[in-house]
Homo-oligomer: A and B are copies of this chain.
Amino acid sequence: MRVFITGVDGYLGWSLAQYLTHKGHEVAGADNFLRRSWVEEMGSWSATPILPMNERLEVFKDHFGKDLIFWNGDLTSYDLIENIFREFQPEAIVHLGECPSAPYSMIDVKHATWVQINNITSTFNLLFAMRDICPEAHLVKLGTMGEYGTPGVDIPEGFFEVEFRGRKDRLPFPRQAGSWYHWSKVHGSNNIMFASKIWGIRATDIMQGVVFGTRHDSMGDEEQLLTRLDFDQAFGTAINRFCCQSVIGHPLTPYGKGHQKRGFLPLRDSMQCLTLAIENPAQEGEYRVFNQFEEVYDITDLALTVQKVSGDLGLDVEIRNLMNPRDELEEHYFNPDHQHLLDIGYQPTTDIESEIRTMIEDLMKYRDRIEAKKSALIPDVFWDGSKSKVRFVDEVK
């Protein structure tokens, strides 16, 4: 299948290009390296060293024996996408090319506006180009479980049957996102749902949990195929950040009470799930929602798991909660469905400890890189608009 990946230089994009190529798909991608700039703006870099794209593409070809077709360009340009679609005629479009950071979107009005506009515009461009150039193609759009927030009822996959004052209907499940970034994903989901309705676009909207890990199943031991791995306050996800902290002997830092619950999945499962979605496309006019995660964990339980695995590897780390710069519930109900991917063959990785072990072992090689940027680990972006380094809970009491 011809698959076009936006954001192909990113954490998921670079991995997915490999995974799909290994499985025999023809893969093209686009990127303009904004992720590299954003992370630099946050005073950090990838824990894993990453090559410039021209060198990445050479390593890719050497390893897989196939080219990754690549466009360097900005997805907010409709002309770019139009040209790519005319030339490549994609059968599936995997949209990973949005700005994915809650804290980055909360910095100030400029960042908030930019994140929403950037994310909405790129998705609009893809939708219109699909309508006009490849209307049979299937859009696989990366959203986030964070679109739902933490309601007091179960979270279905996108839609629910509801009874209200004696009448029934199937309605979109209400979204209660927790940052301007998360809302940008809701806005995008709404736009895609509407495009499917009026234009018959085939779309799968992935409400993805928090991804962690350094490895997927098709990269072998080629270090230069490693994907980026961020650990700064804005682009590092929880487990990845904890593992980087562990490697340099920095305390693991849950926010607030630390009993936020989230869905998580390892990178290799994210690859498996995205590929299942691609290989089992939505019907014409179908807008379907997949809640994509393996298991729900409490953040403190995860920190304890990282601490335990670290101990096994001779790394002695403490858990030290930070004051919470976010406005979020720290103890709450959270019970999302995740049946749709299981129905099409998802086989979850259940041994989270060995995933974490592999990741820490990989990261130990890059201890110096993490150490060099460790000040980026401590957040300073508050949801109330203020900016100062967050203090540890035990410093404040």
Contacts and interface: CB of A to CB of B under 8 A. Distances in A.
A187 interface: yes
27 contacts: A109-B124, A113-B121, A116-B120, A116-B124, A116-B191, A120-B120, A120-B187, A131-B385, A151-B169, A152-B167, A153-B164, A153-B167, A153-B168, A153-B169, A162-B162, A163-B163, A167-B333, A171-B174, A174-B174, A175-B190, A178-B194, A180-B191, A183-B187, A183-B194, A187-B187, A199-B384, A199-B385
Interface of A: 78, 108-110, 112-113, 116-117, 120-121, 124-125, 128, 131-132, 151-154, 156, 160, 162-165, 167-169, 171-178, 180, 183, 186-187, 190-191, 194, 197-199, 327, 333, 383-385
Nearest to A170: B152
Contacts of A162: 153, 162, 164
A165 to B, nearest CB: 5
> Could you say how many copies of this chain the assembly holds?
2
Nearest to A129: B109
A256 to B, nearest CB: 15
Contact of A112 (B128, B154, B167, B186): B128
Contact of A109 (B78, B153, B168, B171): B78
A171 B151 contact: yes
Chain B CB within 10 Å, residue with most, of A110, A113, A172, A178? A113
Nearest to A190: B183
A165 B154 contact: yes
B109 A125 contact: yes
Nearest to A106: B198
Given A116-B187, A128-B385, 15 more contacts: A78-B109, A108-B128, A112-B124, A113-B125, A116-B120, A131-B385, A151-B171, A152-B167, A153-B165, A153-B167, A153-B168, A163-B163, A172-B174, A173-B174, A183-B191
